[in-house]
Structure 1
Amino acid sequence: MAEIFSLEYPQSLGVYDQYSDAQKAVDYLSDHEFPVQNVLIVGTELKQVERVTGRLTWGRVLSAGAASGAWLGLFIGLILSIFAEGESVLVTVLGGLAFGIVFGVISGALGYGATRGQRDFSSVQKVVATKYEVLVEHKFLADGQALLAKQPGAASNPFA
Protein backbone atom coordinates (compact mmCIF):
# COMPACT_ATOMS: atom_id res chain seq x y z
CA MET A 1 0.00 0.00 0.00
CA ALA A 2 2.86 2.41 0.76
CA GLU A 3 4.06 2.07 -2.84
CA ILE A 4 0.95 3.83 -4.10
CA PHE A 5 2.00 7.00 -2.22
CA SER A 6 5.52 7.15 -3.60
CA LEU A 7 7.28 7.90 -6.85
CA GLU A 8 10.67 6.53 -7.88
CA TYR A 9 12.33 9.89 -8.57
CA PRO A 10 9.78 12.61 -7.80
CA GLN A 11 10.22 16.09 -9.25
CA SER A 12 8.17 19.18 -8.47
CA LEU A 13 5.71 20.44 -11.05
CA GLY A 14 4.54 23.28 -8.84
CA VAL A 15 3.73 24.52 -5.37
CA TYR A 16 0.28 25.95 -4.65
CA ASP A 17 -1.18 27.83 -1.70
CA GLN A 18 -4.58 26.14 -2.02
CA TYR A 19 -5.38 22.48 -2.47
CA SER A 20 -8.00 23.42 -5.07
CA ASP A 21 -5.28 25.02 -7.23
CA ALA A 22 -3.15 21.88 -7.08
CA GLN A 23 -6.23 19.81 -7.91
CA LYS A 24 -7.02 22.06 -10.90
CA ALA A 25 -3.47 21.64 -12.19
CA VAL A 26 -3.72 17.84 -12.01
CA ASP A 27 -7.18 17.93 -13.59
CA TYR A 28 -5.78 20.07 -16.42
CA LEU A 29 -3.00 17.53 -16.93
CA SER A 30 -5.56 14.73 -16.98
CA ASP A 31 -7.74 16.56 -19.52
CA HIS A 32 -4.70 16.73 -21.80
CA GLU A 33 -3.93 13.00 -21.69
CA PHE A 34 -1.02 13.37 -19.24
CA PRO A 35 -0.31 10.09 -17.35
CA VAL A 36 -1.64 11.39 -14.01
CA GLN A 37 -1.10 8.02 -12.33
CA ASN A 38 2.48 9.29 -12.02
CA VAL A 39 1.47 12.37 -10.01
CA LEU A 40 1.22 13.03 -6.26
CA ILE A 41 -0.30 16.00 -4.47
CA VAL A 42 1.59 16.44 -1.21
CA GLY A 43 0.53 18.77 1.59
CA THR A 44 3.62 20.48 3.02
CA GLU A 45 4.42 23.01 5.72
CA LEU A 46 2.04 21.38 8.16
CA LYS A 47 0.58 23.17 11.13
CA GLN A 48 -1.71 22.05 13.90
CA VAL A 49 -4.85 24.08 14.41
CA GLU A 50 -6.82 23.79 17.63
CA ARG A 51 -10.32 25.23 17.88
CA VAL A 52 -11.47 25.86 21.43
CA THR A 53 -15.10 24.76 21.65
CA GLY A 54 -15.95 25.66 25.23
CA ARG A 55 -15.06 25.93 28.89
CA LEU A 56 -14.87 22.74 30.94
CA THR A 57 -16.57 22.58 34.31
CA TRP A 58 -17.25 19.62 36.58
CA GLY A 59 -20.89 19.72 35.49
CA ARG A 60 -20.05 19.57 31.79
CA VAL A 61 -17.46 16.83 32.30
CA LEU A 62 -19.80 14.66 34.36
CA SER A 63 -22.77 15.14 32.04
CA ALA A 64 -20.65 14.37 28.96
CA GLY A 65 -19.30 11.27 30.71
CA ALA A 66 -22.83 10.19 31.60
CA ALA A 67 -24.03 10.71 28.02
CA SER A 68 -21.20 8.78 26.40
CA GLY A 69 -21.47 6.07 29.05
CA ALA A 70 -25.22 5.83 28.44
CA TRP A 71 -24.63 5.07 24.76
CA LEU A 72 -22.04 2.43 25.59
CA GLY A 73 -24.24 0.90 28.29
CA LEU A 74 -27.28 0.89 26.03
CA PHE A 75 -25.30 -0.83 23.30
CA ILE A 76 -23.98 -3.50 25.68
CA GLY A 77 -27.43 -3.93 27.24
CA LEU A 78 -29.02 -4.44 23.84
CA ILE A 79 -26.41 -7.01 22.85
CA LEU A 80 -26.84 -8.90 26.12
CA SER A 81 -30.64 -8.75 25.79
CA ILE A 82 -30.40 -10.98 22.75
CA PHE A 83 -29.62 -13.83 25.15
CA ALA A 84 -32.26 -12.84 27.75
CA GLU A 85 -35.84 -14.11 27.88
CA GLY A 86 -39.16 -12.52 28.82
CA GLU A 87 -39.14 -9.59 31.22
CA SER A 88 -35.41 -9.92 31.81
CA VAL A 89 -34.84 -8.25 28.42
CA LEU A 90 -35.92 -4.87 29.79
CA VAL A 91 -33.94 -5.42 33.00
CA THR A 92 -30.85 -6.29 30.95
CA VAL A 93 -31.14 -3.18 28.76
CA LEU A 94 -31.81 -0.86 31.71
CA GLY A 95 -29.03 -2.49 33.73
CA GLY A 96 -26.58 -1.95 30.87
CA LEU A 97 -27.71 1.64 30.57
CA ALA A 98 -27.27 2.29 34.31
CA PHE A 99 -23.87 0.59 34.36
CA GLY A 100 -22.77 2.66 31.34
CA ILE A 101 -23.82 5.94 32.96
CA VAL A 102 -21.93 5.13 36.16
CA PHE A 103 -18.88 4.02 34.20
CA GLY A 104 -18.97 7.18 32.04
CA VAL A 105 -19.28 9.52 35.02
CA ILE A 106 -16.40 7.82 36.86
CA SER A 107 -14.09 7.74 33.83
CA GLY A 108 -14.89 11.36 32.97
CA ALA A 109 -14.24 12.48 36.55
CA LEU A 110 -10.94 10.59 36.73
CA GLY A 111 -9.76 12.04 33.43
CA TYR A 112 -10.69 15.61 34.28
CA GLY A 113 -9.39 15.33 37.84
CA ALA A 114 -6.03 14.12 36.54
CA THR A 115 -5.48 17.43 34.71
CA ARG A 116 -5.77 19.38 38.01
CA GLY A 117 -7.24 22.41 36.24
CA GLN A 118 -4.41 22.75 33.72
CA ARG A 119 -6.78 22.29 30.79
CA ASP A 120 -10.18 23.75 31.59
CA PHE A 121 -11.43 23.90 28.02
CA SER A 122 -12.60 21.53 25.33
CA SER A 123 -11.29 21.68 21.79
CA VAL A 124 -10.89 19.88 18.48
CA GLN A 125 -7.58 19.63 16.67
CA LYS A 126 -6.63 19.25 13.04
CA VAL A 127 -3.36 19.13 11.13
CA VAL A 128 -3.50 21.21 7.95
CA ALA A 129 -1.08 21.88 5.13
CA THR A 130 -0.24 25.45 4.17
CA LYS A 131 1.25 24.53 0.77
CA TYR A 132 0.48 21.80 -1.74
CA GLU A 133 3.19 20.49 -4.02
CA VAL A 134 2.43 18.58 -7.18
CA LEU A 135 5.10 15.95 -7.74
CA VAL A 136 5.60 13.89 -10.86
CA GLU A 137 7.79 10.94 -11.84
CA HIS A 138 11.04 12.41 -13.22
CA LYS A 139 10.56 11.04 -16.74
CA PHE A 140 7.33 13.05 -17.15
CA LEU A 141 8.60 16.35 -15.70
CA ALA A 142 9.25 18.21 -18.97
CA ASP A 143 5.88 17.23 -20.47
CA GLY A 144 4.07 18.26 -17.29
CA GLN A 145 5.84 21.62 -17.14
CA ALA A 146 5.05 22.30 -20.80
CA LEU A 147 1.36 21.52 -20.29
CA LEU A 148 1.02 23.56 -17.10
CA ALA A 149 2.68 26.54 -18.80
CA LYS A 150 -0.30 26.55 -21.21
CA GLN A 151 -2.93 26.27 -18.45
CA PRO A 152 -5.37 29.22 -18.63
CA GLY A 153 -5.23 31.37 -15.53
CA ALA A 154 -2.16 29.58 -14.25
CA ALA A 155 0.21 31.40 -11.93
CA SER A 156 3.06 33.09 -13.73
CA ASN A 157 5.52 30.73 -12.04
CA PRO A 158 3.98 27.70 -10.34
CA PHE A 159 7.44 26.17 -10.01
CA ALA A 160 8.51 28.61 -7.29
Structure 2
Amino acid sequence: MQRTGGERMRTRLPLPTPPTGLTVGSFDTYEQAQRAVDHLSDNKFPVENVTIVGNGLRMVERVTGRLNQGRAAATGAAGGAWWGLFVGVLLSLFASPETNEIVVILLTLISGAVFGAIFAIIGYALTGGRRDFTSTSSVVATSYDVLCKHTHAEEAQAQLARLSLQG
Protein backbone atom coordinates (compact mmCIF):
# COMPACT_ATOMS: atom_id res chain seq x y z
CA MET A 1 0.00 0.00 0.00
CA GLN A 2 1.44 3.35 -1.00
CA ARG A 3 1.24 6.26 1.40
CA THR A 4 0.47 9.74 0.14
CA GLY A 5 0.81 13.36 1.17
CA GLY A 6 0.36 13.92 4.89
CA GLU A 7 0.33 10.27 5.90
CA ARG A 8 3.46 9.00 7.58
CA MET A 9 4.43 5.74 9.05
CA ARG A 10 5.08 6.36 12.73
CA THR A 11 6.46 4.18 15.43
CA ARG A 12 4.05 4.35 18.30
CA LEU A 13 5.70 4.85 21.63
CA PRO A 14 3.94 3.33 24.61
CA LEU A 15 1.96 5.82 26.67
CA PRO A 16 3.32 6.50 30.15
CA THR A 17 1.54 4.43 32.77
CA PRO A 18 1.69 4.49 36.55
CA PRO A 19 4.05 1.91 38.03
CA THR A 20 2.56 -1.32 39.31
CA GLY A 21 3.62 -3.72 42.02
CA LEU A 22 3.64 -4.02 45.77
CA THR A 23 5.40 -1.52 48.00
CA VAL A 24 8.32 -3.37 49.57
CA GLY A 25 9.91 -0.34 51.23
CA SER A 26 9.27 3.36 51.93
CA PHE A 27 12.06 5.87 52.39
CA ASP A 28 12.51 9.53 53.25
CA THR A 29 15.29 10.18 50.72
CA TYR A 30 16.17 9.03 47.23
CA GLU A 31 19.58 7.90 48.47
CA GLN A 32 17.91 5.52 50.96
CA ALA A 33 15.73 4.06 48.20
CA GLN A 34 18.80 3.65 45.97
CA ARG A 35 20.64 1.93 48.83
CA ALA A 36 17.75 -0.52 49.19
CA VAL A 37 17.78 -1.39 45.48
CA ASP A 38 21.58 -1.64 45.55
CA HIS A 39 21.28 -4.09 48.47
CA LEU A 40 18.83 -6.18 46.44
CA SER A 41 21.21 -6.13 43.47
CA ASP A 42 24.20 -7.11 45.62
CA ASN A 43 22.20 -10.14 46.82
CA LYS A 44 21.47 -11.30 43.25
CA PHE A 45 17.83 -10.18 43.34
CA PRO A 46 16.35 -9.62 39.84
CA VAL A 47 16.21 -5.81 40.13
CA GLU A 48 14.53 -5.44 36.73
CA ASN A 49 11.35 -6.19 38.71
CA VAL A 50 11.85 -3.13 40.95
CA THR A 51 10.79 0.50 40.54
CA ILE A 52 11.60 3.57 42.66
CA VAL A 53 8.64 5.95 42.82
CA GLY A 54 8.80 9.52 44.15
CA ASN A 55 5.72 10.69 46.05
CA GLY A 56 4.52 14.21 46.85
CA LEU A 57 6.40 15.93 44.05
CA ARG A 58 7.32 19.57 44.59
CA MET A 59 9.00 22.15 42.42
CA VAL A 60 11.86 23.69 44.39
CA GLU A 61 13.57 26.89 43.28
CA ARG A 62 16.83 27.57 45.08
CA VAL A 63 17.99 31.19 44.95
CA THR A 64 21.68 31.26 44.08
CA GLY A 65 22.41 34.97 44.16
CA ARG A 66 21.58 38.53 43.28
CA LEU A 67 21.21 39.59 39.68
CA ASN A 68 22.25 43.05 38.57
CA GLN A 69 23.20 44.54 35.24
CA GLY A 70 26.87 43.63 35.63
CA ARG A 71 26.19 40.02 36.52
CA ALA A 72 23.69 39.72 33.67
CA ALA A 73 26.30 41.12 31.27
CA ALA A 74 29.00 38.75 32.55
CA THR A 75 26.73 35.72 32.27
CA GLY A 76 25.63 36.73 28.78
CA ALA A 77 29.22 37.37 27.72
CA ALA A 78 30.29 33.93 28.94
CA GLY A 79 27.47 32.20 27.06
CA GLY A 80 28.12 34.27 23.96
CA ALA A 81 31.84 33.50 24.11
CA TRP A 82 31.09 29.77 24.06
CA TRP A 83 28.87 30.21 21.01
CA GLY A 84 31.52 32.38 19.38
CA LEU A 85 34.16 29.74 20.05
CA PHE A 86 31.93 27.06 18.52
CA VAL A 87 31.26 29.15 15.40
CA GLY A 88 34.93 30.09 15.14
CA VAL A 89 36.07 26.48 15.24
CA LEU A 90 33.51 25.55 12.57
CA LEU A 91 34.57 28.45 10.36
CA SER A 92 38.26 27.65 10.78
CA LEU A 93 37.64 24.07 9.65
CA PHE A 94 36.37 25.32 6.31
CA ALA A 95 38.66 28.33 5.91
CA SER A 96 41.06 28.68 3.01
CA PRO A 97 44.68 27.60 3.64
CA GLU A 98 45.97 31.18 3.83
CA THR A 99 43.49 32.09 6.61
CA ASN A 100 44.85 32.30 10.14
CA GLU A 101 42.51 30.00 12.09
CA ILE A 102 43.52 31.44 15.47
CA VAL A 103 42.47 34.94 14.40
CA VAL A 104 39.12 33.61 13.13
CA ILE A 105 38.48 31.80 16.41
CA LEU A 106 39.47 34.80 18.54
CA LEU A 107 37.34 37.23 16.52
CA THR A 108 34.24 35.03 16.70
CA LEU A 109 34.83 34.39 20.41
CA ILE A 110 35.08 38.12 21.15
CA SER A 111 32.10 38.92 18.90
CA GLY A 112 30.05 36.24 20.65
CA ALA A 113 30.96 37.64 24.06
CA VAL A 114 30.04 41.20 23.05
CA PHE A 115 26.70 40.21 21.52
CA GLY A 116 25.94 37.89 24.44
CA ALA A 117 26.55 40.71 26.93
CA ILE A 118 24.44 43.19 24.94
CA PHE A 119 21.48 40.84 24.61
CA ALA A 120 21.71 39.83 28.28
CA ILE A 121 21.66 43.49 29.36
CA ILE A 122 18.64 44.11 27.12
CA GLY A 123 16.90 41.06 28.58
CA TYR A 124 17.67 42.19 32.13
CA ALA A 125 16.40 45.71 31.40
CA LEU A 126 13.14 44.32 29.99
CA THR A 127 12.36 42.57 33.30
CA GLY A 128 12.13 45.97 34.96
CA GLY A 129 13.58 44.66 38.23
CA ARG A 130 10.78 42.12 38.70
CA ARG A 131 13.26 39.28 38.90
CA ASP A 132 16.63 40.44 40.14
CA PHE A 133 17.96 37.13 41.42
CA THR A 134 19.36 33.94 39.93
CA SER A 135 18.10 30.50 40.81
CA THR A 136 18.01 26.83 39.89
CA SER A 137 14.83 24.77 39.79
CA SER A 138 14.29 21.08 40.35
CA VAL A 139 11.47 18.68 41.09
CA VAL A 140 11.89 16.72 44.31
CA ALA A 141 9.76 14.17 46.11
CA THR A 142 8.86 14.20 49.80
CA SER A 143 9.21 10.39 50.05
CA TYR A 144 10.14 7.40 47.91
CA ASP A 145 8.61 3.94 47.62
CA VAL A 146 10.33 0.88 46.24
CA LEU A 147 7.81 -1.20 44.32
CA CYS A 148 8.29 -4.77 43.18
CA LYS A 149 6.33 -7.03 40.86
CA HIS A 150 4.02 -9.37 42.75
CA THR A 151 5.98 -12.46 41.75
CA HIS A 152 9.13 -11.28 43.59
CA ALA A 153 7.69 -9.02 46.31
CA GLU A 154 7.97 -11.48 49.19
CA GLU A 155 11.65 -12.15 48.51
CA ALA A 156 12.35 -8.39 48.18
CA GLN A 157 10.63 -7.66 51.51
CA ALA A 158 12.67 -10.37 53.23
CA GLN A 159 15.95 -9.03 51.85
CA LEU A 160 15.07 -5.42 52.77
CA ALA A 161 14.13 -6.56 56.27
CA ARG A 162 17.65 -8.00 56.62
CA LEU A 163 19.05 -4.67 55.40
CA SER A 164 17.14 -2.75 58.07
CA LEU A 165 18.48 -5.13 60.76
CA GLN A 166 22.04 -4.45 59.59
CA GLY A 167 21.49 -0.76 60.21
TM-score (ref. length: structure 1) = 0.77
Q: Does 1:101 align with 2:113?
A: yes
Q: Does 1:38 align with 2:49?
A: yes
TM-score (ref. length: structure 2) = 0.74
- Between the aligned partners of 2:43 and 2:70, the Cα distance in structure 1 is 60
- Between the aligned partners of 2:86 and 2:98, the Cα distance in structure 1 is 19
Given the alignment, which residue of 57, 76, 81 partners 2:68?
57
- 1:18 — aligned with what? 29
* Unmatched tracts of structure 1, length 5 or more: 156-160
* Unmatched tracts of structure 2, length 5 or more: 1-12
- Between the aligned partners of 2:103 and 2:31, the Cα distance in structure 1 is 54
- 2:91 — aligned with what? 80
Contact 1:44 1:133 in 2 (8 A): yes
- 2:58 — aligned with what? 47
- Between the aligned partners of 1:154 and 1:23, the Cα distance in structure 2 is 16
- Between the aligned partners of 1:146 and 1:90, the Cα distance in structure 2 is 64
- 1:144 — aligned with what? 156
Aligned-pair identity in percent equals 46
RMSD: 2.8
- 2:139 — aligned with what? 127
Q: Going by fraction, where is strand more abundant, 1 or 2?
A: 1
Q: How many residues align?
A: 153
Contact 1:22 1:132 in 2 (8 A): yes
Change (3 A) 1:25 1:84: same
How far residue 8 of structure 1 moved from its aligned partner, in angstroms, is: 7.5
How far residue 33 of structure 1 moved from its aligned partner, in angstroms, is: 4.0
Contact 2:20 2:147 in 1 (8 A): no
Q: What SS does the aligned partner of 2:25 have?
A: strand
